[in-house]
A = this chain, B = another copy of it.
Amino acid sequence: MNKIITISRQYGSGGREIGQKIAEHYGIPFYDNELITRAAKESGFAEETFARAEEKATNSLLYSLAMGINVYGNQDFGFGGLSLDDRIFLAQSDVIRKVAEEGPCVIVGRCADYVLKERDDVCNLFIHAAMSFRIDRAVKVYGVDEKSAADTVIKNDKRRANYYNYHVGEKWNNLNNYDIVVRSDFQGIDRAVAAICAYIGD
């Protein structure tokens, strides 16, 4: 197997777990928070600034307006007119490209499909699931309060959709953006992993 695997996923769908299982199956690196940490260290930005970036995107217009208050003068990046969040995205993108150069791996989130679109050895996945499954998982796996779980799921999905739309300029839920899309709750997470591995091959 000589592929870079990117995963986009609805909140609570088990996309991260599926990514870990695929990485284990192939014995390849898995990048998620590790990626953020690495990017933060290499670029000199504080880690929490990176962690906050994805969560901050509310919608593409509001986001653009809010980000209009640009941070100028950081010549390390050479993009004087870009917002702080755009710079973080570019720094993250650099890291994604670097780890992809190192060989096969699994990268979750952060529009890695878009960042690596010039490569022809990338397999882009999307994982989704029924709302009830995701609410249940938010409570049981992430410890989200039961009363606010539905809200948390909806808000996180909206943020991810807006983040994708803002950076990629495409609809997050458009199936044409992905090579394989799997609904994790219908047949279960292990079968989702089996389907993806059958698709990718040895």
Residues of A within 8 A of B (CB): 123, 126, 128, 173-176, 178-183, 186-187, 191-192, 194-201
Contacts and interface: CB of A to CB of B under 8 A. Distances in A.
Number of copies: 2
A176 B178 contact: no
A187 B173 contact: no
Report which residue of A174, A175, A187 has the largest number of chain B beta carbons within 10 angstroms of its beta carbon. Answer: A175
Contacts of A178: 175, 181, 183
Contact of A175 (B128, B186, B201): B128
A55 to B, nearest CB: 22
Contacts of A182: 179-181, 199
Given A179-B183, A183-B179, A186-B123, A198 B195 contact: yes
A51 to B, nearest CB: 27
Contacts of A200: 187
Given A191-B201, A198-B198, 16 more contacts: A123-B186, A126-B181, A173-B174, A175-B175, A175-B178, A178-B181, A179-B183, A180-B182, A180-B183, A180-B195, A181-B181, A182-B199, A187-B199, A194-B199, A195-B195, A197-B198
B187 A201 contact: yes
Nearest to A177: B175
A123 B201 CA distance: 23
A120 to B, nearest CB: 10
A189 to B, nearest CB: 12
